[in-house]
Amino acid sequence: SFFCFDRLSNLAYNPWFIVQMAQKNIVVVGAGVAGLTSAYLLSQTRQYNITVAAKHMPGDYDIEYASPWAGANYMPVSIRDTKAADWDRDTWYALEDLARNHPESGVHFQGASVSNQMTCRLTIFRECEILSRDKDSQSATAEWFAELLSPSPWFKHVVPDFRILPTDKLGPGIQSGTIFTSVCINTAIYLPWLLSQCVKGGVTFKRASLEDLTDALAFGSQGKVELVVNCTGLGASKLGGVRDTAVVPARGQIVLVRNENGGKMVNLSGTDDGDQEACYVMTRAVAGGTVIGGSYQKGDWNPEVDHELAHRIMRRAVKACPDLTGGSGKVEDLDVIRHGVGLRPVRDGGARVERERISSGWVVHNYGHGGAGYQSSYGCAQEVVRLVKEVTSANVSKL
């Protein structure tokens, strides 16, 4: 009505203007899964005006950018009754919702569809198998995977269909196993999807290589920056104002192939090729290929593909998953799309999700997620939103 138009044209009465006036400027540093998920959840609150500033963005492939290299899947290794387990638990519900209701995000239940001609019903097998060999029980990998390999992990009541694999379903050399519904995230689709959700929510993106965390203060799009969210991953070990010496790389090498594994996601307790090597296979959504891995080489910064390691990765995968090569078991029958190397941002003592007062204001940190950046992403970003609300509330901002 004319009355409304008249009122809205008067800025003093314009509710949108009032919201904008009250908006707090936040700069999120980093556009990996941690930064994008934080910005996405923050953008759901109209109170914030958010800019993401980062050296690497979705679409880039770089050794300083871990997120594109991940498989990625949901296989929690966090220990029961820890914050990390809470973050992983909370993340499951968000990822399950994406797989069920938003397939355009590139998140899918790992599985094959089979229609039953008698009932005309479609059954979805969502299989994720965790297989254990007795000989790995004393290895460093088995220690790292302790919760994942347990017959009764904390997440057995979180993920659907958790059960123990019957002995007659175990392959040669495997002594025990579990099976449950899980998801695989096609990072090539999911990172741009997250970015587009942010853009839809009004987030601005800027390329920036920061020397010091306080450089982020220059990147607010409207006025004074109230708060910085630090999601710099491994970069937190070098960034001025942070330089966290507890953050180190755990090198992961993978091979992306065109072959498929009958919809099964598989993870083994260890390999015969040393503690720093792993064996896992997962098929990405929307014809994204199959990721086979891998390695966990702590302290190794080497960005180059190690071709001998790549051969061992492929040899182990065709042995563990004969379906990959139609039963031939030959590495030459793998059709390679690309080899990849990524550095997981491991932090001794666990990820840092907390607030810190620095001379120029408040920082909320969200980095150091090691090999769990996706499977903990929503839990951690929800914690970021809680901390940001705390810091921007009148009481705390005066501290």
CB of 349 to ligand FAD, least distance (A): 15
Q: Give whichever of 210 and 324 is closer to ligand FAD, judged by the CB atom.
A: 210
- The DSSP string of 285-332 is TTT--EEEEEE-EET----S--HHHHHHHHHHHHHH-GGGGTT---GG
Instruction: Return the structure tokens found at 359.
Output: 């001379």
User: Which 3 state secondary structure label does DSSP give 235?
Assistant: helix
CB of 165 to ligand FAD, least distance (A): 21
Q: Give whichever of 350 and 373 is closer to ligand FAD, judged by the CB atom.
A: 373
Q: Give whichever of 69 and 144 is closer to ligand FAD, judged by the CB atom.
A: 69
CB of 176 to ligand FAD, least distance (A): 22
Q: Give whichever of 23 and 108 is closer to ligand FAD, judged by the CB atom.
A: 108
Show the 3-state SS of 189-230: HHHHHHHHHHHHCCCEEEECCCCEHHHHHHHCCCCCEEEEEE
CB of 127 to ligand FAD, least distance (A): 16
Strands 121-126, 128-132: pairing is unpaired
- Which letter does DSSP use for residue 79 in this model? P
Q: Give whichever of 171 and 303 is closer to ligand FAD, judged by the CB atom.
A: 303
H or E segment and range at residue 90: helix 83-101
Detail the DSSP E strand segments found in the chain. 24-29, 48-54, 107-109, 111-116, 121-126, 128-132, 163-164, 176-180, 183-185, 204-207, 225-230, 247-257, 265-268, 277-283, 290-295, 297-298, 336-347, 352-358, 361-367
Q: Are 250 and 343 in contact (CB under 8 A)?
A: yes
CB of 4 to ligand FAD, least distance (A): 43
CB of 289 to ligand FAD, least distance (A): 14
Q: Give whichever of 315 and 396 is closer to ligand FAD, judged by the CB atom.
A: 315
Q: Give whichever of 230 and 259 is closer to ligand FAD, judged by the CB atom.
A: 230
Interface residues with ligand FAD (CB under 6 A) are 29-35, 54-56, 65-67, 69-73, 208-210, 231-235, 239, 252, 254, 293-294, 342, 344-345, 367, 369-375
Helix axes 377-392, 83-101, angle to 10 degrees: 110
CB of 364 to ligand FAD, least distance (A): 14
